[in-house]
Structure 1
Amino acid sequence: MLSMQKKQSKKQGEQGKQGRQGERLTSLLPYLIALASGILMGLTVAPVGAWFLAWIALVPLWVLIVTSAKNQNQSPPAPPSPPAPPALFWGIGYHGVALSWITGIHPMTWLGVPWLPSLAITLFCWGFISLLGGVFVTIWAAVMVRLAEQKPWLRILIGTAVWCGLESLWSAGPLWWSSLAYTQSPHNLVIVHLGQLSGPNTVTAAIVAVNGLIAEAYINRQDTKMSSASSLRDAMRRQFVNKYLVVATGLLITLHLIGFILYSRPIAQVPEAALKVGIIQGNIPNRLLRSSEGFRRAQENYTNGYLTLAEQGVDAVLTPEGALPIFQRNLMETALVAAVKKKGVVAWIGAFGERGDSYTISLFTFNNKGEIVSRYDKAKLVPLGEYIPFEEILGGLVQRLSPLEAHQVPGSANQIFDTPFGRAIASICYESAFPEQFRYQAAAGGQFILSSSNDAHYSASMPFQHHAQDIMRAIETDRWSARATNTGYSAFVDPHGRTLWISGYNTYETHAETIYRRQTQTLYVRWGDWLTPLLLISSGGVWLVIKFSNTKKLSN
């Protein structure tokens, strides 16, 4: 008898242990689901490029948030499953995977940083930006929790508006790159054309709304199963639930049709507006920038490339960011400027400008006489790469990735860049992620885009994501774009975002292509991002009306 009692007690103990393990697994499941769906969203961009996942990758998080909040409102309430932490995991999953190229800055031993501190700094930067993305998604989730008992259509409207508002807020700061909109570039150019209406947030709104409709279809399907209503009412509810998927499908098709109409418009190629531009991809590793050998190679590669392109009859030559890593005052002594004076072909040369005791990363226009006639200073600096966040902590461990010791400062936000061929839209490297920079210059009369970059210190997926950003800016502004980089990917892009030519990676290359100056203005260029405030105001207004109406009914 005693033996049987021991066996029974042991069996109960094992069952209790298995039950506790099951409870722990159940409590962890929302976090795992959120993390996995965030990772799926991260796979939409390079190097994987599974762009189609963006239209469903937000659905699991949406369902988790709403169903969890509804369970908490039951009587008695279900076991707690807070939606905000899963949202944090989703944001970390998405931004962590999409921005994993940040790890390419390690090791920074060529900057004099020991291997372990270099690893620590790299992981800190990657972790910080991923966590920041998670915080923004968590804020969005907190708003959605408050809407759990609202009508599904109101959740979709407010959820879309708040997501767009948060992306606008984040993009106003210095740490910005991974908008939901860029998940569609360069593979789904049709939908990216919605950016001509109200900028990238138009594409973001489309993605969030479609995900929301699919999620609400699932949520209401679950509600139907749990309902104890009559069979007739169940049938009616199922018919209503089906409408969410119908609307999601209809919205997706309609948005692509609108994009296709914009994509199908012919591009005028007036001979008088033609401009034959050559680019030089110098392929100088950043670790050589501080050395005399690096400067010698830069002079040789860019001078020879310029002469080659001049012989091909180009009108102008574009070089990458920091092509010649010297100050403006020393440019006149270089072989490249001597070649400009000899050949008489306009050149845009990346070098360093001076501003008092500080310096700027700049793009200089040299006319056919070898004289500097305009200058554009980089306005958006790269954290860690060009200035040190938390400099009091990290300043003693790492210097800037620039070859210069002086203090770097940004250019003004509202610059214009006049050239011998008319006003251009200038962008230097990281600025490609900030559409407002391009919109302002296009509205000010910029007729074509000159993008000058150096992505050599990052992993290979970053240059392709950078190219995808430049494609979006070309579409939004309806401009031809010439992009010169140090190590790749250099490219030429037409106003529909089609890549006419793209370079290899880690190769020395020159290439010439004809682009066309344009003076058209898209709705986005004229009005900016009008959609986000419209969504916020309209959704907020509807919510207030409903709340006031419900309060009035209760008081009566």
Structure 2
Amino acid sequence: MNADRGLTALFSALERVAREVALLRSWRRLLAAFFAGSLSVLALPPIHFLPILFVTFPVLVWLLDGLGGPASVVLGEDATATRRRMLRGGAAIGWWFGFGYFLFGLHWIGYAFMVEAEKFAIFMPFAITLLPAGLAIFTGAATALARAVWLPGYLRIVSLAISWCIFEWLRGHVLTGFPWNLIGESFTASDALMQWAALTGAYGLSFIAILIVAAPAFFDPHARAADIHSVRLSIREVLVVPFAALAALVLLWAGGAMRLAAAEPHVASPDDVMLRIVQPNIPQTQKWRPESRIAILGQFLRMSSDPTPEAPQGLGPHSIVVWPESALSIFLAREPYVLSAISRMLPKGALLITGSVRGEPSPDGPADKLERFYNSLYTVDSDGKIIATYDKFHLVPFGEYLPYHRWLESIGLHKLTKLQGSFDVGPGPITMPLPGAPSASPLICYEIIFPEAVVNATKRPGWIVNVTNDAWFGSSSGPYQHLSQVRLRAVEQGLPIARAANTGISAVIDPYGRILAQRALNTAGVIDYPLPHALAPTPYARFGDWLFGLLLLAGAGFLYAFRPR
């Protein structure tokens, strides 16, 4: 009896909230969408409060309900005008939801404009509002598309999940793409939940997440069935879906936990590659000062060679030292004295992998005049020779390249990095052979946020090395969000990842996305850890986003099969 009363109270509360949200009009409706999107950020790193999505996404669904019945079944002389009104309303709700989500999820971008505040602070308000406003176009388009096929009950949740993920995928590809803070990244709150990325990828995790977290919105204020004759029956109909969604979440967690339990622990052998990841914690304001170059080089050499509790003998012949993105503010390939110092630091057989700016002369110009520049990664052997070079292929707009840079620079607009003009683009991704070690896929900074472009499809590497410099973003949530995406790439590909970040967060990550060792943000230190072994290619590594596409097709088939007839 008490259970029945509890279910009745829960049903009544759900019904009341759904109706009140759906009845919001005008600016109140848009303000509610903005707050729902803003609160959704709490599910992302570093807070990882996944339950908030069980509130915010049902609110989004009920706000869309408030636009009226399904647009696909509107009849009468004014049907076209009514559909247009619903689509415009759906786009507005989705835009405001997305604007709140991206405004608070990406506020850390503003930190970069304060590094040289005298030059760039004036642009910060525009950057932290215009970028979220632009990204919110994708969420607005997603909710408009969902409204176009809005169906009763759980079907409208499926249509929202399909349309949302279509436009998440487009956001990751249109205009070079920016797949940051996908809804599926909320699953990185649990090592077990994120294991499903090995099958579906990050976009597929978003689809699964929305199907689950929006389930409380199964109650449809505009589609109460006319043949419900008792409160008990309506309670069962309305509450069975949210309870089934929670059960599905538990099953997903259990499946991921079983995968982790079956994983063999990594035990280092004498022939294993030993990683030493150096995190110098150099402030961005000091990094490019000419008078700091000698001191910074000395810090890197000292941190790379000193013994540690994990490596009391220092570096060995199977060691690989990893320095962060653009570790030294020099053209390393043109500094033989620096290469000589590196060779003295490395024991025979050891390697250094480091980020560096690379310059090339024009093919028809003098050899001493550099005209083409790359954000690069070098592999240096114990003889001080550069044995491999990688040039970044996915550049950051307005950070590493300036669209129409000659015109924009002529009116005083510059990118945040020091070089005039723009970096050139290298080929990628590549698989870089390493003597005495598994081959690696090198990725610089935010290249690792693109799920489908982190490894060479024709030549699978044994691990991924990611060098970055998140010093631009201080102690904000940005470095934590960046790290969560690195973990997802490890799960998707079944590959370990070594990550060296200037100010953090540096880490060694196993092919299940678990952090084996790390250095905290804004601390200096090294990580000594054996390179984990790779897994066999995962389904996502073999098929990429095709499996995600099949999920969307299955969802569309579900809509078609169960649509009202």
TM-score normalized with structure 2 length? 0.82
Deviation at 1:533, TM superposition (A): 1.6
1:349 aligns with 2:354: yes
Q: Which of 462, 475, 479 is the aligned partner of 2:478?
A: 462
- For residues 169 and 273 of structure 1, what CA distance do their matches in structure 2 show? 44
1:480 aligns with 2:496: yes
Amino acid at match of 2:494: D
CA contact (8 A) 2:34 2:97 kept: yes
Q: Cα deviation per residue 1:41-63 (whole Å; 9 max; x = unaligned)?
A: 11222343323323442111112
Q: Cα deviation per residue 1:252-289 (whole Å; 9 max; x = unaligned)?
A: 22222222222322135363772210011122222233
Corresponding residue SS for 2:358: strand
Residues 263, 397 of structure 1: CA spacing in aligned structure 2 closer, same or farther, 3 A cutoff? Answer: farther
Counterparts of residues 141-540 of structure 1 (less than 5 Å):
141-148=143-150, 150-172=151-173, 173-185=176-188, 187-216=189-218, 218-219=219-220, 223-224=223-224, 231-232=229-230, 235-267=232-264, 269=266, 271=269, 274-308=272-306, 311-314=313-316, 315-334=319-338, 336-340=341-345, 344-355=349-360, 356=362, 357-389=371-403, 391=405, 392-393=407-408, 396-405=411-420, 407-420=422-435, 421-438=437-454, 440-441=455-456, 444-460=459-475, 461-540=477-556
Amino acid at match of 2:27: L
2:10 alignment counterpart: none
Residues 83, 308 of structure 1: CA spacing in aligned structure 2 closer, same or farther, 3 A cutoff? Answer: same
Corresponding residue SS for 2:528: strand
Q: How many residues align?
A: 513
Residues 336, 286 of structure 1: CA spacing in aligned structure 2 closer, same or farther, 3 A cutoff? Answer: farther
Deviation at 1:343, TM superposition (A): 5.6
Deviation at 1:377, TM superposition (A): 1.6
Corresponding residue SS for 1:43: helix
1:130 alignment counterpart: 132
Q: More deviation in 56-65 or 532-541? A: 532-541
Amino acid at match of 2:382: N
- For residues 380 and 46 of structure 1, what CA distance do their matches in structure 2 show? 24
1:40 aligns with 2:39: yes
Q: Cα deviation per residue 1:137-163 (whole Å; 9 max; x = unaligned)?
A: 111111121222x34344333322222
1:89 aligns with 2:87: no
- For residues 61 and 152 of structure 1, what CA distance do their matches in structure 2 show? 14
- For residues 443 and 259 of structure 1, what CA distance do their matches in structure 2 show? 28
- Pair member with larger Rg: 1
2:20 alignment counterpart: none
Deviation at 1:330, TM superposition (A): 1.6
CA contact (8 A) 1:325 1:403 kept: no
CA contact (8 A) 1:353 1:359 kept: yes
TM-score normalized with structure 1 length? 0.84
- For residues 354 and 100 of structure 2, what CA distance do their matches in structure 1 show? 39
Counterparts of residues 54-133 of structure 1 (less than 5 Å):
54-70=53-69, 82-109=89-116, 113=119, 118-133=120-135
Q: More deviation in 303-312 or 335-344? A: 335-344
CA contact (8 A) 1:279 1:484 kept: yes
Amino acid at match of 2:142: W
- For residues 24 and 342 of structure 2, what CA distance do their matches in structure 1 show? 67
Amino acid at match of 1:404: L
CA contact (8 A) 2:201 2:548 kept: no
Corresponding residue SS for 2:483: helix
Deviation at 1:98, TM superposition (A): 0.9
CA contact (8 A) 1:129 1:175 kept: no
Q: Gaps (5+ residues) in structure 2?
A: 1-22, 363-370
Deviation at 1:445, TM superposition (A): 2.0
CA contact (8 A) 1:69 1:145 kept: no
Q: Cα deviation per residue 1:315-366 (whole Å; 9 max; x = unaligned)?
A: 1100000001222432432164243466652111211223543111111111
CA contact (8 A) 1:344 1:370 kept: no
- For residues 296 and 488 of structure 1, what CA distance do their matches in structure 2 show? 22
Higher relative helix content = 1
Q: Cα deviation per residue 1:123-176 (whole Å; 9 max; x = unaligned)?
A: 22222221122111111111121222x343443333222222211111123333
CA contact (8 A) 2:278 2:324 kept: yes
Q: Gaps (5+ residues) in structure 1?
A: 1-23, 551-556
